[in-house]
Amino acid sequence: MLSYTNRRNLFGDLTNNKTSANLTLADTLCNVSEKAVIRYFPWPFLITTDTQGLVEDQQFYNLPFNFGRLVSVSVTLGSPKYTPRRAPSQKFWNQLNQSTSVTSNIPEYYIILDGQLGFYPITGTTSATAITYVYTKRIKDLSIADYTTGTIGSVSNGSTLVTGSATVWTTKMANRWIRITDSNTANAGDGEWYEINSVSSSTTLVTKRNYDGVSISDANVAYAIGQIGVLPEEFQELPLYRALWIYFTSSQPNVEKAALYKNLYQEGLLEMKAEYGDLDTDLSIEDGDIDMINPNFFITT
């Protein structure tokens, strides 16, 4: 895993410039580059869902707070689920809405405007209805340095409970990652990163998956809690490569280094698409998507 602190320090090493100004530039370039990687493809590992109730005579609805790019939207009315089509243009949408008196429980079109999603026709009733969004999540910038105050006192193999000593953990550390330092001593961590599910107190936290290392007890083991990006572990250096490509093209021009990091970034992006981008992310089924075959056309015995 490449935490925020690891990434900015590596940028300083590779540019041979660890000044505060250069590391601040690293933060900007790396965060911008991570968003560029996310925009490149509707990555399946970023897809999530959200459900919202329909409101009678309401046309527009606020999109989820972490909304990035829409994959599909559907409306459930009782048991049937309807998938409206996207309005092909603003002009088309405006023409549809010339009359404001048209209502229906079956939406035909949708449009996204100013952080809201609108349906046509407007819903006539809200009896047992819900909107389901399938979308890619919007990501936040990495900006928080690794936290290393105190030590790890205990954690058992197969458990999710981690106990610290002289730590000041806070609830805001949930969804970050913790790594207990590995070493040759008996009371040591496994050096793996575990995502934090919740923080119970200043000295106790719970991870999302079970600890796989050897149990630690009555110890004082070093650790780090880091903010980590959303990319798969083996491709978390891609934003760094893109940042270095930009850096050696503009801030500190160097043709050879710019070409090196450009190639590393582009090749890595293609590898990630080959490995993680081959899933069908269109979860909606519309009329005409599947040619139905009458089973009576076939001979059975």
The per-residue pLDDT string of the chain (301 residues; one tens digit each, 9 = 90 and over) reads 999 999 999 999 999 999 999 999 999 999 999 999 998 888 899 999 999 988 888 899 999 989 988 999 998 887 788 899 999 999 999 999 987 778 887 889 999 999 999 999 988 766 667 899 999 988 999 999 999 999 999 999 999 999 999 999 999 999 999 999 999 988 899 999 999 999 999 999 999 999 999 999 988 999 999 999 999 999 999 999 999 999 999 999 999 999 999 999 999 999 999 999 865 544 333 434 444 444 444 454 4
pLDDT, position 77: 80
Helix (H) or strand (E) holding 23: helix 20-40
pTM of the predicted model as reported, rounded to 2 decimal places: 0.80
pLDDT, position 127: 64
Closest by CA to 271, choosing from 243, 244, 231, 240, is: 231
Q: Does domain 147-226 have CATH number 2.40.30?
A: yes
Beta-carbon contacts of 56 under 8 Å, excluding residues fewer than 6 positions away, are: 123, 124, 125, 126
Paired residues of 210 in beta bridges: none
What are the CA-CA distances from residue 241 to residues 19, 183, 277 (Å)? Answer: 19, 30, 20
Paired residues of 189 in beta bridges: 182
d(CA 56, CA 75): 13
SS3 230: coil
pLDDT, position 287: 39
Amino acid found at 216: I
pLDDT, position 126: 63
Would you say 167 and 131 are in contact if contact means Cβ atoms under 8 Å apart? no
Show me where the domains of the chain are located. 147-226
pLDDT, position 295: 46
d(CA 240, CA 8): 8
